[in-house]
Amino acid sequence: MKDNISTAIKAAIESAPERKFVESIDFAFTIKDVDLKNPNNRIQEEIRLPSGRGKELKIAMFASGEVATLAEEAGVLVIDPATIEELGGDKMRAKKLVNSVDFFLAEVPHMALIGRYLGVVLGPRGKMPRPVPPKVDPGVIAAGLRSTVVVRSRDSVTFQTSFGTVSQEHDDLVNNALVVYDRVTGKLERGAGNIRSLYVKTTMGPSQKIEVIE
């Protein structure tokens, strides 16, 4: 599979028109013979990419006091927990915030309030905050998330996930792609046998089909 994936990545980048922004490069999986009506069969994976995301991610944290200071020092956007209820009452503002942030963190005591007032916005987008236990440096968690992608099928047989950007070296993209591919097939009962089709593409470029080897 490594050679097939490598060839497709190269073709996807070479065939993509030049853009004024750095495009992501994505997998598009279509699976078969999997009952996604059963939540236990759905793909829901957080994957640490060995060569990173190839772009800066925005991470925010609901925190105050010393923890907020640590988060800010780590480059994390701090959200005052006192504004949670106010955000919950302004759905447009809440959606704008949630859509602009890749991952959320929160001090444990604020999780219930976040769920109550913002769960309706965060939940469907798969962005409920990760709780940060007391005495844990949020910067450490944030550092790990900066190279993490989320693969989420929900109840759809076709789903897409990024594994880097066109600015990264070819070998780095191949390494990232293999980790994602192996993780997804590892969650399927028949592995590659449950893959109907697999494509790779840049954000706005044409798709390149990858021959899946069972």
How would residue 18 be classed by pLDDT, with cut points 50, 70 and 90? Answer: confident
Q: Is the pLDDT of residue 196 over 80?
A: yes
Where in the sequence of the chain do the CATH 3.30.190.20 domains occur? 2-54+148-209
Q: CATH number of the domain at 2-54+148-209, out of 3.40.50.620, 3.30.160.20, 3.75.10.10, 3.30.190.20?
A: 3.30.190.20
Paired tokens of 140: 């450490």
Rounded CA-CA distance 202/189 in Å is: 29
Helix locations, the chain, DSSP H: 2-15, 65-73, 84-88, 91-100, 111-122, 138-145, 170-186
What is the DSSP secondary structure assignment for residue 71, as one 8-state letter? H
Question: 159 phi and psi, to 5 degrees?
Answer: -150, 155
| pLDDT tens, residue by residue, 41-81 | 999 999 999 999 999 999 999 999 999 999 999 999 999 99
- Extract the tokens encoding 60: 């925010």
- Give the position of tokens 């999780």: 111
pLDDT grade, residue 136 (50/70/90)?
very high
Condensed to tens digits (0 to 9), the pLDDT of residues 144-179 reads 999 999 999 999 999 999 999 999 999 999 999 999
